Amino acid sequence: MDSYLHIIKRGARGMEIVRDDSDKWRFIKMLYYLNDEFQSDSWEGDIENLELFERPAKWPERRPLVCVSAWTLMPNHFHLLLREIRAGGVSKFMQRLCGSMSAHFNAKYGEKGSLFQGAFKSRTVGEDNYLRYLAPYIMVKNVFELYPHNGLTGALKNFEDAWQWATQKYIFSSLPVYAHNKNSPIIEQNILHEIFEAPSAFKNTARDMVLNYAWYDGKEYQALFLEKW
């Protein structure tokens, strides 16, 4: 426990894991409501008439399985940066998250089988310097791939516009938490808030990462990213 894990989970055969905004909002809710030792079999019904992140009064006090430090949802995969705070917490949380997504997707769209491609891939992150670049990789580089003006290529040419779009218009990531120093029930205070003492520090690191590629020379960083850039 207490180590950080970079986790990526992809859709089977590269297929989409979310198809509309309701799927994406459901993912956000799961990051909060399924990250708990207590689990209601009817959790969606329990929260149906509540405000976002409001906890049903009949539920016991929340005891998270993991600390969610960063996350980004993409059309066919998602990234998480987790710290395990209870024994077996990561495995239990991922089983709940992916199982619920598969069941919901199949029921909603009339599909069959697993939504995902095998087990989740993960790497343990043991040094603050890795986290300094891994966090903006998860939240910035990936979101920039969805930039409506030619994706990552366009974002590299117009960082400021891409940054504004990514931090203000793409809400299915924890990027706004760090870019605007917002509070989020999903994200708990953690080492990233110590590494990036102000939003400007996070933005500057993200800019260096996506514009200069200086960090990419080290093979150890490539392993942490779990995929080729």
CA-nearest of 204, 169, 202 to 187 is 202
Tokens 């605007």 — which residue? 180
pLDDT of 65 reads 97
Q: CA 204, CA 114: separation in Å to the nearest integer?
A: 40
- Tokens at 9, concatenated: 């989970």
| 214 has pLDDT over 60 | no
More confident residue, 74 or 112: 74
Mean of pLDDT over the chain: 91
Q: What is the pairing mode between strands 121-125 and 66-73?
A: unpaired
Q: CA 36, CA 185: separation in Å to the nearest integer?
A: 13
Query: DSSP string covering the chain, please?
Result: ---EEEEEEEBGGG--S--SHHHHHHHHHHHHHTSSS---TTHHHHTTTSPTTPPPTTSPPP--SEEEEEEEE-SSEEEEEEEE-STTHHHHHHHHHHHHHHHHHHHHHT--S-SBSSSPEEEEE--HHHHHHHHHIIIIIHHHTT-TTTHHHHHHH-HHHHHHHHHHT--SBSHHHHHTT---SSBPP-HHHHHS-SHHHHHHHHHHHHHH-GGGG-HHHHHHH-S--
Q: CA 53, CA 29: separation in Å to the nearest integer?
A: 7
Tokens 């991922």 — which residue? 94
Q: CA 80, CA 172: separation in Å to the nearest integer?
A: 12
Question: Domains of the chain: which residue ranges?
Answer: 4-121, 127-225
pLDDT of 228 reads 63
pLDDT tens per residue across span 174-209:
999 999 988 899 998 678 888 998 999 999 999 988
CA-nearest of 82, 79, 97 to 145 is 79
pLDDT tens per residue across span 102-150:
999 999 999 988 899 988 999 998 777 788 889 999 999 999 999 999 9
Which of the listed CATH numbers 3.80.10.10, 3.30.70.1290, 3.30.300.30, 1.20.1440.230 matches domain 4-121? 3.30.70.1290
pLDDT of 107 reads 97
pLDDT of 149 reads 97
